[in-house]
Amino acid sequence: MIEDLSSPSASRFISFDLEKDKELQEIVDLASAVTKTPIAVISFLDDETQYLKVRKGVDVTTVPRELSFCTHAIAQSDLMIVGDTLKDGRFMNHPMVIAAPALRFFASMPLITPDGEKVGTLCVLDFKPNALDSHQQLVLKILSAQVMKILELKDGIDKLQKNQRELLEQKELNSDANIRLRSFFESSTNFQVLLGKSGEVIDFNKTAYNFVKTVHKCELKRDDQFVKYIHPGFVATFIDKYNLALQGQKSNKEGSTDYDDLGVIWWEAAFEAARNSDNEIIGVSYIIRNVTERKIKEQKIISQNQSLLRIAHIQAHEFRAPLTTIMGLMSLIKQDIHNPPSEYILFLEQAVETLDTTIRKIVTGIDDTVVSDFVTTYH
């Protein structure tokens, strides 16, 4: 029983389109001419099939592995010669010997890779017994080695082309990803800069560029030391947060800055380590969000709450005094219905005036806080 010596490397050669390869066809024709045989073939074997890839004198393209002459040849490392198949016990009962095409002579040299793997054969066959002299045997061995060199070259070119295609595809993917990332980066309304490990500007978005140009009257450029654009009162905090980010610690800071013509701007700053594809820290991502509108709304809410507290205080204390006076006078008037003293009327008028003043204070407070916001929002 023949040991299964099929090579994993054979599959890559089987997949090649070699039928119209000019160089290999010339080698097959030369092998046939030198050995004076009508059939010459370059073939490869896998577990089940022999693939006749380059042929002379035969039209068959595949043979079942169990019927392949080359199964025996590939089991050894040197030239195999069977002068008469009817006199060799391995082949005398073979279907292709005792019946068509009635093969009588067979010589085969394994195709061996530089790693020592046997992937196929260069073989010649005849319909009558034959023999090869030393010169013919040497030529067959040389041609076999040349076949292997050509195959290795084609394999190398195929791998190179495949790598180039993969590289091109990866470049296209990277390009698409960079376009999407850049689009997102540029469309952001947040101030974003990428800083190197020495505090230099690596990249920035349009928002950052426009802000620096407006506030500092100059253009933000790559390799600038970014700290020169930081407000003096924030420099120490900025450097501390920047260094923390270089150590991998994310942090945030909130504050406000008076930018003269732009007025007071409330902001939230985020410091985070920027990493490369190997997860190595290469700098710091510095992002600033303008939260002025939110802060103004928060301050309005605080102001409204304070006004409501004042109103509650007025209701609890200032309402009580005039109301008590009015209630007391009304009780006295009821006791002396026909002739109420004039001082009762005076006291009653004073209490009403006090109550009216207090009500006006409440209305004015509401107008200043709640109503004005309502009018601004809806009109």
Instruction: Give the pLDDT confidence of 33-83 residue by residue, as tens digits.
Output: 999 999 999 999 988 899 999 999 999 999 999 999 988 998 888 999 999
Rounded to the nearest 5°, which phi and psi values hold at 339? -130, 70
Which pTM does this prediction carry? 0.50
**What does R_g of the chain's alpha carbons equal in angstroms?**
49
CA dist 281 and 112 (Å) reads 49
Rounded to the nearest 5°, which phi and psi values hold at 352? -65, -40
CA dist 317 and 262 (Å) reads 44
Sheet of strand 62-64, all strands in order from the earlier edge strand to the far edge: 62-64, 49-56, 39-45, 118-126, 105-112, 80-82
CA distances from 85 to 70, 97, 178 (A): 13, 7, 67
Contact 292, 189 (CB under 8 A): no
All residue ranges of the chain with pLDDT < 70 are 1-8, 174-186, 307-309, 311-342, 344-345, 347-349, 351-352, 355-356, 358-379
pLDDT of residue 371: 43
pLDDT of residue 321: 61
